[in-house]
Amino acid sequence: MIRTATTSRERILDAAFKLFGRYGFKRTSMEDIASEAALSRGALYLQFRNKEDIFRELATNLHEEALSQAQAALDTGDPLSERLRAAVEAKTLRMIEIGRYSPHGSELTDEKNRLCGDLALDSERSFQRMLTRAFKRAHELGDIDLGTSGLRPPETAELFARAVDGLKSAALSTDAYRKRVASFAKLFVAGLR
């Protein structure tokens, strides 16, 4: 059966996402979200206590989607450097674009840190576990040799993730960021061969 209408919860989240991007977190009210979602305020409050809860659920959904896409990228049969590049892009690009293309990007980033810091930490830990499995498997298949580097898979994953995090820069375009990630992934994997 084809679903023609989204649930009120999904409509609320879609409306809030648009409004937070357009007006920022502080200037968006619960009434604005209810109106954009074509719901009464009462219907909105049946789903969420406040806009902080809405923001947090949006962040949870974004992290879960990014991690799912990152895992899918790591599960392909592509060369390791390509899988790493695709996984990093899956995990980071959407968040970077939200921050960069909204006129309220810095405010949204501040709110994300204030309200969702624990989610970001959990997401980073999950990503490092994914990377650990990918590096371990690549070592077992002989694609890389962790023995020569003296690194174990978890250390390799942490080093890679922290280095990639340093590639982000507000001054970089999305294309420039993607090129940096691709170059770094190739260099990192070449160093482990």
Please give the average pLDDT of every successive group of 10 residues along the chain, which has 193 residues. Answer: 63 96 95 96 95 97 97 97 98 86 84 92 97 97 92 96 86 85 96 91
Confirm if 177 and 166 have CB atoms less than 8 A apart: no
Do 187 and 128 fall within a single domain? yes
Do 67 and 93 fall within a single domain? yes
Q: Is residue 2 part of a domain?
A: no
For residue 104, the model assigns a pLDDT of 86
For residue 38, the model assigns a pLDDT of 96
Do 35 and 119 fall within a single domain? no
For residue 171, the model assigns a pLDDT of 61
For residue 98, the model assigns a pLDDT of 80
CATH number at residue 38: 1.10.10.60
For residue 2, the model assigns a pLDDT of 41
Q: In three state form, how does the secondary structure of 133-181 look?
A: HHHHHHHHCCCCCHHHHCCCHHHHHHHHHHHHHCCCCCCCCHHHHHHHH
* Residue from 50, 37, 32, 30 nearest 8 by CA: 37
Do 111 and 164 fall within a single domain? yes
The domain containing residue 56 runs over which residues? Answer: 51-191
pTM (two decimals): 0.88
Q: Is residue 1 part of a domain?
A: no
Q: Which two tokens stand for residue 147?
A: 């023995």
- Per the structure, how many domains does the chain have? 2
94 three-class SS: helix
CATH number at residue 98: 1.10.357.10
- pLDDT digit string, tens, across residues 131-146: 999 999 999 999 999 9
For residue 96, the model assigns a pLDDT of 84
Do 93 and 14 fall within a single domain? no
Count CA atoms within 13 Å of residue 119 on its CB side. Answer: 20
Confirm if 136 and 153 have CB atoms less than 8 A apart: yes
Do 38 and 56 fall within a single domain? no
